[in-house]
């Protein structure tokens, strides 16, 4: 019997048998308030790492250890379970064990650190983001073993569970570079995202990258009197505003020459798949807390946020901003811009294109400075990639329905794994938009958590059957 | 002997004879630190008003009184000296007796409230702005009487010397409306401005008006994630910036329909007179602390700042402005705009034009609010106005050279006198740009102060000779 032919009923029976203990364990973990942003809770983040390490050993991982980050940062957990099969692919699962801050007084109906099950949902900080989605891998790998009769997974399974994701992953880049040898993998599975909806299971195929810039414009040496000089010298606030206005053409395409160089365009198949999703503009606007859509001509809202590069002004300031008026030509003005990039774009080239373009826009008499901060690269796994096919197939078996495809408009440090490890990235997540990430009453749907366990249980056997390391260069 | 035929030597001799006492008195007044912006010095502003009232009585004004302003504001001084001649024109001189803050520690070479004469200059806070220029009228009217043998001025002379000019004249509008009957005049003489240069005496013929607006743009209900939503909804900071960019066309003309309605264009004669001034762009840029000129095509720098209406962004803010980056679409953004108006423009119409135009510019999905504050009207006295001719003639006699003509790009509450009293406004000032208004080491050139006294001494007789109240409707 090949690994993909394991009866799904075996997996389901195993999950049903162990569900209660699994949830008890998850609840124990959720009781640890591992809030990475709160210096007073550093001890809790460490306790969470220790708890997970012990639990992974108990699950069967022969290696499970706490990894310290540089500069006194908060620890990650690394675990490894070799397959033992020659030529088995190596998979690295990424998640995080730290959580957002939460307090009952914020408006929670229950104690955020006392998990409470109501109507098939477990409410707790971290239930969906991300402890629940990390933890389904523990029961998932056991179900995989039970169903296949194996004593080790069909893939070389590695886990890297970060402890600083909710505080901006300040040491993540350093961590994965230092441990690149031990993290080496043929494919990365990110379990820190979600699906379109409970009744519309989806697989994400990529994330946008991010580059940001701060641009400063300097005019007069000091603020000067707009009565005496206004209308006769350039105004840096005007300059900043005109630059923002020039960022887009009338079709809301980014007007910076070279900005779109290398962009991997959406395929017709992807556009069809996105169009099949039950998108409702009013509902989406409600989530966006906005009144109207606006974006690049020729693309749908989903295409705009998932698959098109953008330029956004995140902040602008200059001159007098207090009460009343002040008749000045301000000495300086500033912009914070960010650029979302899609696969095929290169952050260095985008930054160079931005810098070159800004230099051509600035009026004589205005001096400008441009500062770029770090960037996050985009990632995209093509629809026909065998690993993505394995994931979609595993999800399809778990959900017993057709799986849709999405992308993620945001950018994450996890995408850096793609670069450092040179491996494609898959997203296996079962959270849904109503799960309340970073908000009050965060929860996970227990029925979907089961599906996560089940998909993980199928995935390792499917990958081993349909993937071999010669695919790794894809 | 007609009043204009009084030998100028008589005036000069009188001034020379009384110069020492005049300067001693001015120094006494300058020792009173009448800083209106400093609540701890309210008593000093009151002492200054009392001192001036006594001095004006001593000068001969039969009426000299302290006028309280509303809301516990700081007092003005009013004085009146009727001519006694039937049909004599009535002149209202405007100035102010409060001063800017000053402290030795700011970098003054001498105590700002201990007047010090060095190399023909008297250094003290208020020496030029405005006590020196108010005070030359006291010796001026005495010289006028001495030279003409009169016992009362040839005009009905009124003085209104404000005590809150340096703190924004918050109660001035109310004050002049309450006392409009007693302030009634055929012509207003503002002695709170300056000339082009010591060797280029000039008369100012008008000031620009001012209207300002704060415009707010509202997009999402809260800041939203630029990864999840950016590029698909309108961004209020982008909106604010695009409005600023749209304010001007490629020729830096204000692009608001109707904005230029009613503008009294510069005459060829005025353009010639402005062009005769020894304008040096590098020197001007040094004063403007700027690197390049920029403005409405087809006009010189002086024409742009003196005689053309402008739109200026005084402040802009929205989104994240702290250290580092924050990937948001901001919920709101704000602009502070000001519009300088020239004679012929109506503030209400300009505001309506701005509001109408803004409404056409705002993207669907963005809500905007526009708030206008008070406005200051422009004033302009035509070159051929008989009162202006009298002033130019008086200045010419004092300086014994040709008098140039300028305008003032700024806006002042004094211009409101033009409206409330329905009288043309003249500017009699002898200060020069190096006098250090609002800065350290403020000073007045004693030789120019003499010229101010002298011009004031000629003006009343000249006005009485060449003006009659039937001109008042000009």
B222 interfaces chain A, CB cutoff of 8 Å:
yes
User: Percent of chain B at pLDDT above 70?
Assistant: 97
Q: Note the Cα A421 to chain centre separation in Å.
A: 17
CB–CB of B159/B56 below 8 Å?
yes
ipTM above 0.90, yes or no: no
Interface membership of A318 toward B (CB under 8 Å): yes
Question: Do residues A293 and B365 touch, judged by C-beta distance below 8 A?
Answer: yes
**Are the Cβ atoms of A409 and B229 closer than 8 angstroms?**
yes
Q: Closest approach of chain B CAs to the CA of A220, in angstroms?
A: 4
Q: List, in order, residues 6 or more apart from B307 with CB less than 8 Å away.
A: B266, B270, B274, B299, B342, B407
In sequence order, which residues have a C-beta less than 8 Å from that of residue B433 and are 6 or more positions away?
B194, B197, B287
Q: Quick check: A212 and B327 CB within 8 A?
A: yes
Q: Given the DSSP bridges, would you call strands B90-96 and B76-81 parallel, antiparallel or unpaired?
A: unpaired
Q: Mean pLDDT across chain A, nearest whole number?
A: 94
First to last CA, chain A: 28
- Euclidean distance between CA atoms A80 and A68, whole angstroms: 17
A227 touches chain B (CB under 8 A): yes
Chain A contacts in chain B segment 26-85 (CB below 8 A): none
Residue A415's pLDDT is 77
Of B192, B126, B129, B127, the C-alpha closest to B159 is B192
Specify whether the CB–CB gap between B393 and B217 falls below 8 A. no
Average pLDDT over residues A242-260: 98
Tell me the per-residue pLDDT of B177-226, one tens digit each, with 9 for 90 and over: 999 999 999 999 999 999 999 999 999 999 999 999 999 999 999 999 99
Both ends of chain B: CA-CA distance in Å? 28
Chain A's closest residue to B378, CA to CA, is: A227
Pick from A376, A405, A421: which residue ends a domain?
A376
Q: What DSSP element (H or E) covers B53?
A: helix B42-59
pLDDT of residue A3: 46
How many Å apart are CA B121 and CA B119, to the nearest integer? 6
Is B438 touching A (CB cutoff 8 A)? no
List all residues 6 or more positions away from A293 whose beta carbon is below 8 Å from its beta carbon: A281, A285, A301, B232, B233, B365
Residue A399 lies in a domain: yes
Q: Between helices B42-59 and B131-148, what is the axis angle to 10°? A: 10
Q: Are residues A407 and A329 in the same domain?
A: no
Which region, left, alpha or beta, applies to residue B185 given φ > 0 means left and ψ of -120 to 50 means alpha? beta
Nearest CA in chain A to B210: A227
Is B291 within a domain? Answer: no
HEC states along B56-100?
HHHHCCCEEEEECCCCCCCCEEEEEECCCCCCCCEEEEEEECCEC
Lowest mean pLDDT among A212-216, A249-253, A324-328: A324-328
CB contact under 8 A, A326 and B336: yes
pLDDT of residue B473: 40
Q: Is A181 inside a domain boundary?
A: yes
Residue A373 pLDDT greater than 90, yes or no: no
A201 close to A195: Cβ distance less than 8 angstroms: yes
Q: Nearest 10 degrees: CA dihedral of B97, B100, B103, B109? A: -90
Do B62 and B115 lie in one domain? The reply is yes
DSSP SS3 for A433: helix
Contact in structure between A205 and A381 (CB atoms under 8 Å)? yes
Banded pLDDT at B7 (limits 50, 70, 90)? confident
Of B332, B349, B376, which marks where a domain is finished? B376
C-alpha to C-alpha distance for A154 and A394, rounded to whole angstroms: 14
**If you write DSSP's letter for every residue of B363-402 in order, what string do you get?**
PTT-EEEEEEEEEE--EE--TT-HHHHHHHHHHHHHHTSP
Cβ of A210 under 8 Å from any chain B Cβ?
yes
**Residue B440 belongs to domain spanning:** 3-207+378-473
CATH code for the domain in which residue A236 is found: 3.30.70.360
pLDDT digits (tens, 9 = 90+) for A394-417: 999 999 999 999 999 988 776 789
- Number of A/B CB contacts below 8 angstroms equals 290
pLDDT band at A454 (very low <50, low <70, confident <90, very high): very high
Question: What is the predicted pLDDT for the residue at A1?
Answer: 38
Average confidence (pLDDT) over B259-272: 97
CA-to-CA distance for A133 and A194, rounded, in angstroms? 9
Query: Could you tell me which residues come within 8 angstroms of residue A348 by beta carbon, excluding any fewer than 6 positions away?
Result: none
- Decide if B221 and A289 are in contact by the 8 Å CB cutoff: yes
Query: Going by DSSP bridges, is the β-strand pair A76-81/A156-162 parallel, antiparallel, or unpaired?
Result: antiparallel
Predicted confidence at residue A472, as pLDDT, reads 46
Residue A5 to chain B, least CA–CA distance (Å):
38
Residues B331 and B223 in one domain: yes
User: Phi-psi region for residue A296, left (φ > 0), alpha (ψ -120 to 50) or beta?
Assistant: beta
CA B59 to chain centre: 26
Nearest residue, CB atoms, A316 vs list B208, B318, B336? B318
Does residue A364 sit in the same domain as residue A386? no
* Structure confidence by residue, pLDDT tens digits, A182-196: 999 999 999 999 999
- Same structural domain for residues A199 and A340? no
> What digits encode the pLDDT tens for the residues A13-40?
999 999 999 999 999 999 999 999 899 9
Q: Which residues does B336 contact at the CB level (< 8 Å), separation at least 6?
A: A319, A320, A321, A325, A326, B212, B213, B214, B313, B314, B315, B316
Chain B partners of A294 at a C-beta cutoff of 8 Å? 232-234, 363-365
**Which of A99-103, A171-175, B55-59 has the largest mean confidence?**
B55-59
Which of B231, B235, B318 lies nearest to residue A305, judging by beta carbons? B231
Domain co-membership, A60 together with A193: yes
Q: What is the mean pLDDT of the segment spanning A121-145?
A: 98
Interface probe with B: pick from A169, A289, A313, A338, most Cβ of B within 10 Å: A313
Q: Quote the pLDDT of residue B5.
A: 52
Per DSSP, the three-state class of A92 is: strand
- pLDDT tens, position by position, A321-368: 998 888 899 999 999 999 999 999 999 999 999 999 999 999 999 999
Domain assignment of residue A278, yes or no:
no
Residues B222-252: tens digit of each pLDDT = 999 998 999 999 999 999 999 999 999 999 9
A window 370-389, beta carbon within 8 A of B: 373
Same domain, B200 and B218: no
In this structure, the answer to whether residues A104 and A67 fall within a common structural domain is: yes
A258-285: pLDDT as tens digits: 999 999 999 999 999 999 999 999 999 9
Beta bridge partners of B216: B334, B369
CA distances to A128, A283, A442 from A433, rounded to whole Å, are: 10, 12, 11
Domain count, chain A: 2
Average model confidence (pLDDT) across chain B: 94
Minimum distance, in Å, between the CA of residue A92 and any CA atom of chain B: 25
Tokens of B117: 């004469």
B235·A304 Cβ contact <8 A: no
The shortest C-alpha distance from A194 to chain B (Å) reads 13
Residue A83, min C-alpha distance to chain B (Å): 37
Residue A296 belongs to some domain of the structure: no
Residue with tokens 């009043």, as numbered in its chain: B3
Mean pLDDT of the A210-229 span: 94
Chain A residue at shortest CA distance from B303? A232
B286 located within any domain: no
User: What span, in angstroms and rounded, lies between the C-alpha atoms of A224 and A227?
Assistant: 9
Q: Is the pLDDT of residue B321 over 70?
A: yes
Please give the DSSP secondary-structure letter assigned to residue B267.
P
Best of B170, B241, B320 to substitute, by most chain A Cβ atoms within 10 angstroms, is B241
Asked whether A201 and A403 are in contact (CB, 8 A), the reply is yes
In 3-state terms, what secondary structure has residue A376?
strand
Cα A270–A272–A276 angle (5° rounding)? Answer: 115
Interatomic CA distance for residues A78 and A342, integer angstroms? 30
Q: Residue B19 falls within a domain, yes or no? A: yes
Residues in chain A: 474
What does the pLDDT average to over A214-239? 95
Q: In the prediction, which pLDDT does B464 show?
A: 95
- Nearest residue in A to B334, CA atom: A321
Alpha carbon dihedral A356, A360, A365, A370, in 10-degree steps, equals -20
Q: What is the DSSP string of A306-317?
A: HHS-EEEEEEEE
Do residues B39 and B126 share a domain? yes
Q: Output DSSP code: residue B155.
A: S
Query: Quick one: B338 and B441 in the same domain?
Result: no
Q: Is residue A292 part of a domain?
A: no
B143-170: average pLDDT: 95
- Chosen domain end from A342, A361, A376: A376
Q: Which chain B residue's Cα is nearest to A342?
A: B227
Quick one: A329 and A422 in the same domain?
Answer: no
CA distance A249 to chain B (A): 11
Residue among A191, A175, A204 nearest A134 (CA): A191
Consecutive H or E run containing A2: none
DSSP state of B130: T
B168/B54 same-domain check: yes
Nearest to B141 by CA among B398, B410, B402, B457: B457
Handedness of CA A33, A35, A41, A42 (dihedral sign): positive
d(CA A271, CA B306): 59
B206 touches chain A (CB under 8 A): no
DSSP β-bridge partners for residue B197: B200
Looking at residue A72, its pLDDT comes to 82
- pLDDT number for residue A469: 53
With CA atoms as reference, the chain A residue closest to B285 would be A233
| Contact: A313, B235; criterion CB under 8 Å | yes
- The Cα of A340 is separated from the nearest Cα of chain B by a number of Å equal to 7
State the pLDDT at residue A326: 86
Contact B229 A327 (CB under 8 A): no
- Is any Cβ of chain B less than 8 angstroms from the Cβ of A233? yes
Q: Is the Cβ–Cβ distance between B166 and B42 less than 8 Å?
A: no
- Phi first, then psi, for residue B387 (nearest 5°) are -70, -40
Mean pLDDT of A57-67: 98
CATH number of the CATH domain containing A139? 3.40.630.10
């Amino acid at each position: 019997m090949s690994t993909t032919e394991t009866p799904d009923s075996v997996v389901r029976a195993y999950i049903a048998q162990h569900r209660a203990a699994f949830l008890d364990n998850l609840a124990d973990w959720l009781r640890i308030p591992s809030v990475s942003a709160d210096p007073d809770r550093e001890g809790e983040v460490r306790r969470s790492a220790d708890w997970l390490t012990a639990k992974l050993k108990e699950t069967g991982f022969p290696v499970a250890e706490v990894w310290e980050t540089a500069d006194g940062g908060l620890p990650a957990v690394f675990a490894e379970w070799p397959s033992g099969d020659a030529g088995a692919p190596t998979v690295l699962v990424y998640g995080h064990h730290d959580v957002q801050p939460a307090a009952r007084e914020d408006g929670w109906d229950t104690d955020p650190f006392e998990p409470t099950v109501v109507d098939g949902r477990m409410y707790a900080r971290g239930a969906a983001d991300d402890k629940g989605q990390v933890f389904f891998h523990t029961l998932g790998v056991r179900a995989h073993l039970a169903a296949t009769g194996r004593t080790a997974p069909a893939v070389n399974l590695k886990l890297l569970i970060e402890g600083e994701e909710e505080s901006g992953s300040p040491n993540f880049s350093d961590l994965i570079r230092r441990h690149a040898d031990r993290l080496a993998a043929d494919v990365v599975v990110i379990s820190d995202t979600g699906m379109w909806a409970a009744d519309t299971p989806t697989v994400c195929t990529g994330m946008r990258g991010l580059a940001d810039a701060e641009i400063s414009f300097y005019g007069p040496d000091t603020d000067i009197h707009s009565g005496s000089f206004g209308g006769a010298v350039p105004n840096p606030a005007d300059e900043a505003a005109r630059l923002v206005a020039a960022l887009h053409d009338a079709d809301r395409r980014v007007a910076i020459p070279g900005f779109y160089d290398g962009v991997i365009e959406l395929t017709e198949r992807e556009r069809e798949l996105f169009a099949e999703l039950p998108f409702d503009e009013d509902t989406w606007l409600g989530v966006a807390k906005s009144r109207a859509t606006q974006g690049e001509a020729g693309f749908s809202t989903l295409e705009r946020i998932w698959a098109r590069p953008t330029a956004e002004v995140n902040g602008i300031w200059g001159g007098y901003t207090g009460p009343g008026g002040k008749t000045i030509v301000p000495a300086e003005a500033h912009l914070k811009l960010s650029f979302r990039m899609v696969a095929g774009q290169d952050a260095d080239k985008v930054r160079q294109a931005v810098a070159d373009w800004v230099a051509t826009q600035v009026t004589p008499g205005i001096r400008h400075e441009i500062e770029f901060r770090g960037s996050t690269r985009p990632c995209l796994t093509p629809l026909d990639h065998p690993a993505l096919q394995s994931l979609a197939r595993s999800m399809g078996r778990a959900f017993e329905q057709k799986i849709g495809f999405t992308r993620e408009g945001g950018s994450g440090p996890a995408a850096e794994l793609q670069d450092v490890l040179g491996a494609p990235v898959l997203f296996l997540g079962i959270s849904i938009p109503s799960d309340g990430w970073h908000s009050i009453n965060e929860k996970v749907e227990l029925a979907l958590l089961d599906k996560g366990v089940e998909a993980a249980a199928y995935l390792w056997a499917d990958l081993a059957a349909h993937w071999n390391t010669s695919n790794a260069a894809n």
